[in-house]
Chain A
Amino acid sequence: MVTVETLEQLLDELKSMKLTVPEVIRQRVRINMNQQQPLIHRQHRRFPRWLSSGVAVIPAVAVACGAVAYGARASVGRPNHPTAVNDQASVESYDYQKQLGFQPVLPTQAPLPLTQTMASKDLNTSGGDYRIFLANYGSGTDQYLTVMEGRSGHVEDRHIVRVDWRKRLIGDIHLEELVLPNGECQIVFTQRGLEYHLTAFKKSGISVTQLEQLCQRFSQPVTQPPDVTHVGTFGVQQAEKLLSFPVLPPKYIPQGFGQSEVRADVVIRGSYKWESFMYQLFGDKQALITVQELRTEGKEPNAPGAHNLSTAAVGQPRKLNIAGYSVSVLRHDAQYTSLSWVMQNGVHMSAEGGVDLATMTKVVDSMYRK
């Protein structure tokens, strides 16, 4: 027979079941939150969520680099590294067939004004190359309705993001739809070999029925160049080809670290260009080191509410001289260090992760070693 005392003892034992977040997860979540993107080391996620919300969030990533927070903007020098022009299609002229491999189509009539379009390529991923087109409808920087389209399987792995889909036949279109508790409606359908993902946010006032009707009006080929182009790639060699600045992967790998992942991204919006190189080192189980190089050119688009979780240092940071650079120590303790600096060529650098300052200093120093 169960007694009250026994239940209390059971309760006591439950208290011992508290867990702590493994450091590698803690850091990944912080970094991914900074970038408003899903877990980038998991390449089963086909498309970075932060991009689907438009280029407006990109400065948030720039802030995450850390250097911006201290106004340490150096003049942007000329690229001293050949740029893979083919991969960095400008927005002035854009051949959709050539760049994306398909002709995007949008609805003939949409319930809201079209505010922004984007062409995006993720190259050299573990699953091959992914190319998609996005369109945002709404008002100003607010998006109320988004359309993403691409070859089947290129847009998003829905089994990771949402899986509670209902199958419908509307007209001659087989679609799957989802209405979330927060009022967000999503529909996915395939037409002429392309997969379309529509999302209507609650504030759009668009019902799932209206979204179903919208699916039947996808017949207007997009003729205008996209407002924004994005190219992403993986691997050091691919990054070197894509970016206009030299990439500096660390040569010193601290004990307990081994597996690495490299990602490079270029986003162009009119005269604004944003380039990022990210090198991540994964520890045995408890730590992650992220080195990021970031360069922007041109006038930044307006960025509402950029938030930053990892580099909110207060006051004047301590400075260190590492490899001839004045490096700001944003945070450091025995388990975590965050550094930022700016190179002569205008590239903003940051290194953060689950090691102490001495170890991180070695990592940064090794980036400049021949």
Chain B
Amino acid sequence: MSHEDDKAWESFAKKAESPRIPTPKEAQEIFDAAGTEALTSEVSASIAEQVLAGKLRGRAPRCANDDWLKAEEQRYLRDGVRQLNRNKGDEEAEDDDVLDRLKSEALDDDDDETSAEN
């Protein structure tokens, strides 16, 4: 990614933020025009408990594709270690296969990017 592309986007995104934080007057208008979503008494009680305790009930942070990430990270670490520990003259067919696969995946990434652009 070009740093210049990011800078250009971020400078405009700041001015065109949407939804932007409303002014006090707008916020009051939004509130007045709003519908409602009912809460059960259990949920209301839970919220009151959290507010008075001064902290939200702990919830494990989410991470999308968590399992995929774990598997991918493990594979990359394993392959990276294999590559780092490879001494000149000690090449093994299995290591060569891994390197070929990594090169092929890197090239595939380029292909994905090109096809996504088209």
Q: Do A and B come from one complex?
A: no
